Amino acid sequence: MSLFVTLALVGSLSSPSLSRAASEAGPHLVLRATYDTGLGGNGSEIISVRHTDGIAALTNIAGSVDVLDLSDPLEPRLLRRVQIGTAFGTPNSVAVHPQHDYFLVVLGTAGATGRVAAYRLSDGAFLASAEAGIEPDSIAIAPNGQHAVVANEAEGIAIGQNGGAGSISIVDLTGFNGVAPGQELAVTTLALPSLANVPGVSTARTDDIARLPIDNTPGTLEPESVAFTTNSRFAYVTLQENNAVAQVDVLTGQLTFFGLFKTSHAADLTVNGSYQPVENLNLFREPDGIALDQTGRFFVTADEGDTRNAAGSAGPRGGRTVSVFDAETGALLGDTGSQLDDAAGDASIYPDSRSNRGGSEPEVLDLAHYRGRTLVAVTLERANAVALIDASEPASPEVIDIARVGAAPEGIQFFRRGSRLFVATANEAAGTVSILEVAF
């Protein structure tokens, strides 16, 4: 596969602070059920749900994947626990194939080449595995099931050690159905170019672990999360520490990069025992999770942040926002400003002890169209909550509800059962999955 690179030159657009104005008549989140892995802090991290039948796969840090039946969201049940092991690192992410009887899981650890592996859903049997890049952290499968894309994070190992070059792997699944014996996974790993000349990428920041300057050369590129377009042609990958998103053409390997610039809004930057958004946050967004609008018009990012300042000292980081960008040009359309932290403050769950770092820390998100609205659900890792956002007007996304879930939610996905829309969150520190309904 050939590698083509396009460096997109995108101008910065300003975004005003947006206030939270929840609508009593609008959609809201209702907790319906909880699944407990029984593994506590070694339990759930990332969840993938197949829309057609409610079969889900859940990564466990302990080295296993739980296959769940969510066909009745009110009574989630464990079908089987698949032992993956940790020989190649922990299971960092999982994706259920949209048609076939298998899931893909990526295994990795900092500083080492990882793997992508396939296991059967119906009995947990190992099917195949192949080498990926350094520390694969996230995987997604295209809606048509023909390709998967892996974000190989290659984060720092220790102070002064950057962990190697980040990369993106494309898995060709066109000949892999999980049934025929002897099938192999076909993986092509794309080396990434320097992004130093891309407008809007990180500057004057250091890696959180290695404490090395993020100069956006390959050794400091850290791909994080993956999402596909509805037509399955393109994957979008966040590069969190670099404040960028890569668009990947899965058929040609062509890469286009968008720098995401900074957000500016009121925030609480001081640990003082209460929520007081009286200071100004003006920082790179540093996106973690990403999702695509089903029409292909825009993508949304969860702007968590994961760097230190130029001196390598701890301090405020990340945008603390959900941002909306044009999917073709990368131009900013709008963001939530202070609304996520405002909502947590209103609900008395704002984590003030994180005010001088990342606030509520939006982590992973998903997007769905439901009853005439474009909805985004985002996990707030430090607030132990999930926020619901109405992005029907991309220029002015509005936080409309917030709900408590288990401790340290990370993975999240919308799924439908009949005419009802649900949200599943994987709560990493609790080892649980929360099932919420989007109710009216």
131: containing domain:
5-19+50-361
Residues 6+ apart with CB under 8 A from 213: 205, 206, 220, 310
Radius of gyration for the alpha carbons in the chain, expressed in angstroms and rounded? 20
| Gap between the Cα atoms of 278 and 109, Å rounded | 40
**Rounded CA gap, 158 and 44, in Å?**
25
Residue 424: predicted pLDDT = 98
User: In the structure encoding, which two tokens stand for residue 221, read together?
Assistant: 């590129």
Closest alpha carbon to 330 in 399, 216, 220, 238 = 238
Alpha-carbon span 269 to 316, nearest angstrom: 7
Please, which residues have CB within 8 angstroms of residue 357's CB and are 6 or more apart in sequence? 314, 315, 316, 317
Q: How many structural domains are present in the chain?
A: 1
- Considering the domain boundaries, does residue 432 fall inside one? no
**pTM, entire model:** 0.95
d(CA 427, CA 431): 6
- Within a domain: residue 209? yes
Give the whole-angstrom CA distance, residue 95 versus residue 47: 8
Q: Is residue 109 within a helix (H) or strand (E), and if so which, with residue range?
A: none
Question: How high is the pLDDT of residue 19?
Answer: 33
Bridge partners, 238 (sequence order)? 245
- Residue 433 in any domain: the answer is no
What does 217-274 look like in DSSP terms, one character per residue? SGGG--EEEEEE-TTSSEEEEEETTTTEEEEEETTT--EEEEE--EEEEEE--S-SSS
Which residues are within 8 A (CB) of 181 and not within 5 positions of it... i.e. 6 or more apart? none
In a domain, residue 199? The reply is yes
Q: Is residue 253 part of a domain?
A: yes
376 assigned to some structural domain: no
Residue 259 in tokens: 């720098």
- Written as tens digits, the pLDDT of the chain (440 aa) is 433 343 443 333 332 222 334 445 689 999 999 999 999 999 999 999 999 999 999 999 999 999 999 999 999 999 999 999 998 999 999 999 999 999 999 999 999 999 999 999 999 999 999 999 999 999 999 999 999 999 999 999 999 999 999 999 999 999 999 887 788 999 999 999 999 999 999 999 999 999 999 999 999 999 999 999 999 999 999 999 999 999 999 999 999 999 999 999 999 999 999 999 999 999 999 999 999 999 999 999 999 999 999 999 999 999 999 999 999 999 999 999 999 999 999 999 999 999 999 999 999 999 999 999 999 999 999 999 999 999 999 999 999 999 999 999 999 999 999 999 999 999 999 999 999 999 99
Any domain includes 256: yes
pLDDT at 25: 66
Identify the CATH number of the domain in which residue 170 sits. 2.40.128.630
Residue 292 covered by a domain:
yes
**Edge-to-edge strand ranges of the sheet holding 373-380:** 362-370, 373-380, 385-390, 398-404
Q: What is the pLDDT of residue 24?
A: 53
